[in-house]
Structure 1
Amino acid sequence: MSSLKDIYIDQMQDIYSACKQSKDATQKLHDAATDSELKSALKAGVEGIEQGMSTLSEIIKGHGEDPTDEFCKGMEGLVKEVHAHVLDTDFTDDDVRDAMIITQYQRMAHYAIAGYGCCKAFGKRLGQDDDVTKLDKCLDASYDGDKHMTEIATHGINKAAAA
């Protein structure tokens, strides 16, 4: 690493890897969820992650690099948490499981928000205006997905889980 551009490409590759890992985990969370609104949001999450991966791949390849040259250890840890706290845990209440699903999904989403935000800032500094526009859409989609999960949690699932 010898320049901001090197960091920029590296971090986009990291987020690409994070998306790949979180996509599989989000699909498994979808399969485990019982609330119909949550299932729908998780399905939309998978689709959004796929769109983010497509955008990142396009940007990274546009800089002459391979999007798969990095493996994100941070997301690997978060996916392990998905398994430990949801997929490998026995729940006696579906609402409690759904509340935990939201928790784990949002942790992964926050990782993506941080990554897209950093890459956007690097892109801005480097004058990569087209990249920044695309990264901003990915960042907005990640924020929107996170907000939607908070709404689902606070308007029903958390109340049901507390009952």
Structure 2
Amino acid sequence: MPVKNLEDLYLDQLKDLYSACRQSMPVVTALGGAAKSKELAEALISGNQGIARGMEALAEICSRHDIDPTGEHCRGMEGILFEAKKHALETEFADEDAQDAAIITQYQRMAHYAIAGYGCVRTFANRLGFDEDAAVLQDCLDHTRSGDKHMTALAEGGINEAAMDGK
């Protein structure tokens, strides 16, 4: 279906963002299982819960617009997830703290992609006058940003410093 206008683009991007979230959940679970820091593992569990809430919100919005959020495949997130697995899960680490730093790096790349996606669809919803959608999408954006900031705090709060030692 060709994209004829901003509303078509909005609906297309909602489905793409839903796909990105759906694809990321098993990788975030794997990152959490590989994390050595208890606090990091808990943050990743919380991140996955946030992703699930985002998917529910996206599905609800799609339902209001009579579209099915499934069926789309986000190639952008596919590439980010390939890199996350390669650099945080498949790489051999001699130091657990270095792996935790890599996990944070890869999670934040996923989060930044989601932040961009939520920000764009929220802006489209505002322009189109879909106020209820925009409010829900703003909430998703705020939660995703909050998770990203928490990961930065973990990195700066000791994980990156511990990774410098190379035990």
Q: TM-score, normalised by structure 1?
A: 0.99
Structure 2 residue aligned with 1:4: 6
- Give 1:82's aligned amino acid: A
Structure 1 residue aligned with 2:63: 61
Give the whole-Å Cα distance in 2 for the aligned partners of 1:109 and 1:138. Answer: 11
Give the whole-Å Cα distance in 1 for the aligned partners of 2:71 and 2:128. Answer: 21
- Give 1:64's aligned amino acid: D
- Give 1:133's aligned amino acid: A
Cα deviation, 1:19-40, whole Å, max 9, x if unaligned, reads 0111111001000001011011
Write the mapping of 1:27-106 to structure 2, written as runs, cut at 5 A. Answer: 27-106=29-108
Give the whole-Å Cα distance in 1 for the aligned partners of 2:85 and 2:75. Answer: 15
Structure 2 residue aligned with 1:17: 19
Give the whole-Å Cα distance in 1 for the aligned partners of 2:137 and 2:71. Answer: 19
Shift in Å at residue 69 of structure 1?
2.9
Structure 2 residue aligned with 1:125: 127
Instruction: Flag structure 2 segments of 5+ consecutive residues without an equivalent.
Output: none
- Give 1:153's aligned amino acid: A
Q: TM-score, normalised by structure 2?
A: 0.96
The number of equivalent residue pairs is 163
Shift in Å at residue 43 of structure 1?
0.4
Give the whole-Å Cα distance in 2 for the aligned partners of 1:117 and 1:69. Answer: 22
Tell me which of 150, 158, 161 is aligned to 1:159.
161
Shift in Å at residue 3 of structure 1?
1.2
Cα deviation, 1:52-83, whole Å, max 9, x if unaligned, reads 00000000111000001311000000000011
Tell me which of 102, 109, 112 is aligned to 1:110.
112
Structure 1 residue aligned with 2:152: 150
Structure 2 residue aligned with 1:140: 142
Give the whole-Å Cα distance in 1 for the aligned partners of 2:134 and 2:141. Answer: 10
Question: Runs (4+) of structure 1 moved beyond 6 Å?
Answer: none
Give the whole-Å Cα distance in 2 for the aligned partners of 1:19 and 1:71. Answer: 10
